[in-house]
Amino acid sequence: MADIGNHETVLVEDIELDKDNPRIRKFLEMYGDNITPEQFYLALGAAGDDESESSASFEKLKNSILTNGGIIQPVILNRRADGTLVCIEGNTRVALYTSFINEKVRGDWTRIPSLVYDHMPREQIDAIRLQIHLVGTRPWDPYSKAKYLHHLRTQEFLSFERIVEFSGGRKKEVVESINAFSDMEQYYRPVLSDDSEFDTRRFSGFVELQKPGIKEAILATGFTLTDFSQWIHDDKLSPLNTVRSLPRILRNQKAREVFVKQDAKAAMKVLDRPDLNKVLSEVGIGALAQALTQAIYALPWRDAERLRSEPASDTAQQLSEAASALAELMTLSESL
Amino acid sequence: MHLHLVGRIVSYVRAEYQAYQLAVFHDLPNLLGAEKPPRIGGFVPDVFAIDAPPSITILGEAKTVEDLETEHSREQLAAFLTFLRLQPSGILVVAVPWQAQARAKNLVAQLQRQLQCAGVRAIVITELAG
């Protein structure tokens, strides 16, 4: 039976970071003795070990600790035979507490909640790391996260700013997530014959529904969000990111008819668009971006004026779609 | 002047709709990393405020006297009204210099009639707080 450890609040200055962890040692050697929390975090990331904070970036982790006034999950320490304490799990969190002390961040960062094991043998250390990093805590699926955000907003009445502070991410994502959950519950659940058909994997379709112009296109062409839910249920919008193409499909009468009879894929074929896969499949995203930039710079003034005066035209909509996709990509790359 | 008017819309929305604790997106340059409003009908409004789950949607647009009379502004406001017509409790806030207040009210009212957007609440404010 393994030692279950004791919960203690331990002086941060008494904790040694686990610089000998074989998985990250080679990365830490590059930084010398004075390792910052960022370097530790980078080393853990570089070693493919994200310390169970999985998707949370370093900044998110830091902000979350600051917002909460401390960590929620204790770090795991091993008390060696000589009484010294080494951090087995939670090195980034310990390093952050140390940096908060050094930077005189408001609050008491001198002690950290810890689960302390005595004289832990190597095998047990490995077992703990394996359990945390290979088995790990099961991350919430996007629907469950949205459900919780919805609860925080509608039951706990937290402001968007507060929710973003707690959960990380961006305000726009929080709004979209809550609205997607709300729409799914309000429109999708009722179209199912029973609750066992409720497929949380369809959630991303409802997130797409929140993007600018989608709902408006559905409602403006005489459909309802119940229709949309039925389309999702009937797999007419598969893969779910084809929801983005709904405005163009629904505005085109022929494509709309094909969509209603068949699905979005068939409807897309009706739209007069080049076969991008054939023509551009060999071109990388960088070259495409360059080509688009050049095309924009070379755009005659009259065409630019037309785009401005006809925001609902196909070209304007395609550019708008590209602008949104590019903005999303840049946001993603900033957060990496 | 334009930035000042955008600031007035943000202050107005925050004060008047405080109870909703709306998520407010704007394009003011003084906040680094602030999230920008989304593109609506091909145009980006100066201010976008929304609740979640959706119970109220506000679009804010600032116009100087010269801007107000352009075709571009007309199309922009028409796109915003059309969008707001489909939202629960859609509100359009237009901020203009005080001398253009009457003209702005007339323009918005005219567009509302043309587009059958009477259900959208339109508010015209000026640079003068009060």
Beta sheet of B121-126, edge-to-edge order: B23-26, B47-50, B57-62, B90-96, B121-126
Q: Does B119 touch chain A (CB under 8 A)?
A: no
Q: Which domain holds residue B16?
A: 2-29+48-126
Cβ pairs A/B, distance under 8 A: 61
Predicted confidence (pLDDT) per residue in B94-104, tens digit: 999 999 999 99
Q: Does B38 touch chain A (CB under 8 A)?
A: yes
Of chain B residues 61-80, which have a CB less than 8 A from chain A? Answer: 71-72, 75, 79
Predicted confidence (pLDDT) per residue in A22-78, tens digit: 666 666 666 666 667 667 766 665 444 444 444 446 777 788 888 888 988 899 999
Predicted confidence (pLDDT) per residue in A280-294, tens digit: 767 888 888 888 888
Partner-chain contact B21 A157, CB within 8 Å = yes
Q: B76 lies in a domain? A: yes
Return the residue matching tokens 């201010």.
B47
Angle B9-A159-B122 from CA coordinates, rounded to 5°: 30
Q: B24 lies in a domain? A: yes
Our CA-based measurement puts residue B39 at a distance from the nearest CA of chain A, in whole angstroms, of 7
Distance CA(A186)–CA(A215), nearest Å, equals 15
Angle A95-A98-A100 from CA coordinates, rounded to 5°: 110
Q: B25 lies in a domain? A: yes
Partner-chain contact B53 A320, CB within 8 Å = no
Question: What SS3 state is found at A282?
Answer: coil
User: Which residue on chain A is closest to B37 by alpha carbon?
Assistant: A172
Tell me how many domains chain B contains: 1
Q: B11 lies in a domain? A: yes
Which residue numbers of A have CB closer than 8 Å to B's CBs?
150, 153-154, 157, 159-160, 170-172, 174-175, 178-179, 182, 212-213, 215-216, 219-220, 308-309, 311-312, 316-317, 320, 323-324
Query: Residue B18 is part of a domain; what is its CATH number?
Result: 3.40.1350
Predicted confidence (pLDDT) per residue in B43-88, tens digit: 899 999 999 998 999 999 999 998 888 999 999 999 999 999 988 8
Q: B95 lies in a domain? A: yes
- Token code pair at residue B92: 């359009």
Give the whole-number percent of chain B exceeding pLDDT 70: 95
Element (H, E) at A218: helix A214-220
Q: Which residues of A216-236 are buried (b: 16+ CB within 10 A; e: fewer)?
A: bbbbbeebebebbbbbbbeeb
Partner-chain contact A308 B72, CB within 8 Å = yes
Q: What is the pTM of this model?
A: 0.65
- Token code pair at residue A287: 């070259």
Q: B41 lies in a domain? A: no
Q: A161, A320, A326, A331: which to substitute to probe chain B, counting the most B Cβ within 10 Å?
A: A320
DSSP state of B18: G
Q: Assess contact for B116 and B93: CB atoms under 8 A.
A: no
Q: B36 lies in a domain? A: no
Q: B112 lies in a domain? A: yes
Element (H, E) at A11: strand A6-11
Predicted confidence (pLDDT) per residue in A66-111, tens digit: 888 898 889 999 999 899 999 988 888 888 898 889 888 888 999 9
Phi and psi at A199, nearest 5°, equal -110, 105
Question: What SS3 state is found at A111?
Answer: strand
**HSE on the CB side for A251, CA within 13 Å?**
16
In this structure, how many other beta carbons lie within 10 angstroms of the beta carbon of residue A173?
18
